[in-house]
Amino acid sequence: MVYVIKNTCFLQILKRKQFFKRFLWRTYSSDSPIQPIDVKRIRNFSIVAHVDHGKSTLADRLLEITGVIKPGNENAQVLDQLQVERERGITVKAVTASLNYSYNNEPYLLNLIDTPGHVDFSNEVVRSVTACQGVVLLVDANEGIQAQTVAVHSLAKRNDLVILPTLNKVDLPRADPEKVKNQLKSVFKIEPSDVLQVSAKKGWGVEELLKAIITRIPPPNVDTTDHFRAHIIDTWHDKYRGVLCLAYIHSGTLKMGQTVKWKSDVKQHTVKYLALLRPSEESITEAMAGQVVMVGLGTKGGGSVGDTLLSPEATDGKDTTVPAVRHMVYAGIFPADQSQHTQLSDSIKKLSLNDSAVSVAVDSSPALGQGWRVGFLGLLHLDVFTQRLLQEYKAEAILTAPSVPYKVKVKGAKIIKHYKGEDVIVTNPMQLPDVSNIVEYYEPFVIGTIISPVEYIGAVNTLCIDRRGNPLPSNAVDDQMTMLQYILPLSEVVMDFHDTLKSITSGFASFDYQDYGFHPSSLVKMDILLNGVIVDELTSIVHISRLEYNARTLTARLKEMIPRQMVQVAIQAVVGGKVLARETIKAYRKDVTAKLYGGDITRRKKLLKQQAEGKKKMRSVANIKIPRNTFIDVLKR
């Protein structure tokens, strides 16, 4: 089949990489269709583990064995496709790869999902397991069970998934597989005989793992004869094709050109793109129940994570199992210059499609202008999001200090009607209701799980108690490691808790946390006053035990950052009319006595008195000028 193209403009369009791919799909997909496979020979599974236990390396070996990539490149990490992932050496996005594998002379389709290991990206793991029937629980044979290992095992159990316990890095000199097997038995009741051993770097035991995936993980329990129904586990934006979705098909079949609808929107759309991710896109003409496929409905047919895609005949859009996201940290994002507002707005919208764990709400600040209040799952999530904005969309942004959400109970019929209920969630201290209308404050808490060597237990307990933690019963992992649990305020965890924990335990302890809800707490609103005028941007919500420290720290920082004025500037941290800390910036002062060469001292006093009265008058009418950069430096994390 030969095409002769004479149109110069069309030739220029073909040079675009994405368009050329689509051109090839439409040309050759009908000539080489993907053969359908029996549902009984489909296996959907995720690789879950603590951070840096070798998930991406194991995924590389699976891609090699199934012929997706060439063997020999030990550091490929093909599924870590983002620049931020390669720079930081961590997995941020769960990535799907559909692999073909032959076992006992029968073809199998293995839908692999490589998931992140850091707690800030646990939402990626939660969404991934909704499309799986089993998980490979990977544990480092050197480090043993870590905090995130406990979390992902609990998640797999809650979703009734088959767990394949697997020890990785067994080739290293420090590896102690028998010790880690005993840990698995002690903590999870996993028999040592059920544990597989691999070296993802060397490729040892990976073939046996593939066979175990086929024999021990069941096929998806789906109905291919029913109406089409699928739920969305991921979305992203393509420059030429609009919003693309990753869907797990629960029932029926999906074909190119088929008409479908969203559960949340009765408007019908046509399937324009359908592909398997291997992990690069491979166009197909038909997909069946049990498969994980990429679906595109054109530029006006975008969906959202957790939504359900249905055939027009389907009337029963059952709820999916994708849980709601609980945001742990909120921060303001503002353009460096208001002329860049539109560009930053478009960039945030596109990136939030690919990162469904963020929440975006319009915000404004008298000092920083128009911006957004964005919710994240943690500080690393916040860091990665802003880094991706810069790397992928060339969008520079100002990031304000992160804060956790609080809840307050208000009184008064008008106030309750205004906030549509007694309980008000406050994500920005500037939005806090008037103190006179607040009955009680509630603070978010988490259950923190710490796995630490026994010699550091004293230091860990001291840290947790200093951070207002309440201990829960501890469990021994083995004779050298202990699992501690504390109920901790979220505000004490999200800032520097993890770094401090690593420091006092020489890097051996691991930490993970889960939501424990809102609980009553002794919180107060702290205002910052400049010459008696409240600066809204610097308002904060503080626990009474941290009040004096925070007040002194913030006023001292402001004294360093606010430039001197023609008048004296008083910086005060105030709670309920009581001044907790004060710093003073001296005014510029002209030496009015310089022209005196002697004489009576009364002349000197007269000139100084006139100057003081002039300064007092100026102070009563002057506005304190605070440069925008000062706000940025103070509010910046």
Strands (E), 346-410: 359-365, 369-376, 397-399, 406-410
**Residues 329, 379: contact at Cβ < 8 Å?**
yes
Residue by residue, DSSP assigns 452-472 as EEGGGHHHHHHHHHHTT-EEE
Q: Is 627 annotated as a binding residue?
A: no
Q: Is 319 annotated as a binding residue?
A: no
Q: Is 54 annotated as a binding residue?
A: yes
Q: Is 49 annotated as a binding residue?
A: yes
Indicate the burial class of 332 (C-beta count within 10 angstroms; 0-12, 13-18, 19 or more).
buried
**Residues 489, 468: contact at Cβ < 8 Å?**
yes
**Residues 254, 284: contact at Cβ < 8 Å?**
no
Sort residue 151 into left (φ over 0), alpha (ψ -120 to 50) or beta: alpha
**Residues 431, 457: contact at Cβ < 8 Å?**
no
**Residues 521, 612: contact at Cβ < 8 Å?**
no
Q: Which residues pair with 138 in a beta bridge?
A: 49, 166
CA pair distance 23, 614, nearest whole angstrom: 78
From residue 422, alpha-carbon distances to 417, 444, 519 in Å are 9, 17, 15
Range 210-228 burial, b when 16+ CB lie within 10 A, else e = bebbbeebebbebeeeeeb
Q: Is 52 annotated as a binding residue?
A: yes
Nearest to 190 by CA among 181, 199, 201: 181
| Phi and psi, residue 81, nearest 5° | -95, -20
Q: Is 50 annotated as a binding residue?
A: yes
Q: What does the longest C-alpha to C-alpha distance in the chain come to?
A: 113
Q: Is 234 annotated as a binding residue?
A: no
From residue 332, alpha-carbon distances to 20, 92, 344, 412 in Å are 40, 22, 13, 30
CA pair distance 58, 142, nearest whole angstrom: 16
Q: Is 51 annotated as a binding residue?
A: yes
Q: Is 471 annotated as a binding residue?
A: no
Question: HSE (CB half, 13 Å, CA atoms) of 592?
Answer: 14
**Residues 376, 327: contact at Cβ < 8 Å?**
yes
**Residues 351, 393: contact at Cβ < 8 Å?**
yes
Sort residue 28 into left (φ over 0), alpha (ψ -120 to 50) or beta: alpha
Helix or strand (DSSP H, E) at 575: strand 569-575
Q: Is 115 annotated as a binding residue?
A: yes
**Residues 245, 307: contact at Cβ < 8 Å?**
no
Question: HSE (CB half, 13 Å, CA atoms) of 177?
Answer: 17
Q: Which residues pair with 569 in a beta bridge?
A: 585
Q: Is 53 annotated as a binding residue?
A: yes
CA pair distance 136, 121, nearest whole angstrom: 18
Q: Is 358 annotated as a binding residue?
A: no
**Residues 402, 385: contact at Cβ < 8 Å?**
no
Q: Is 116 annotated as a binding residue?
A: yes
End-to-end CA distance of the chain: 59
Q: How many CB atoms lie within 10 A of CB 363?
A: 20
Question: HSE (CB half, 13 Å, CA atoms) of 492?
Answer: 21
Q: State the binding site.
A: 49-56, 114-118, 168-171
Known binding-site residue numbers for GTP: 49-56, 114-118, 168-171
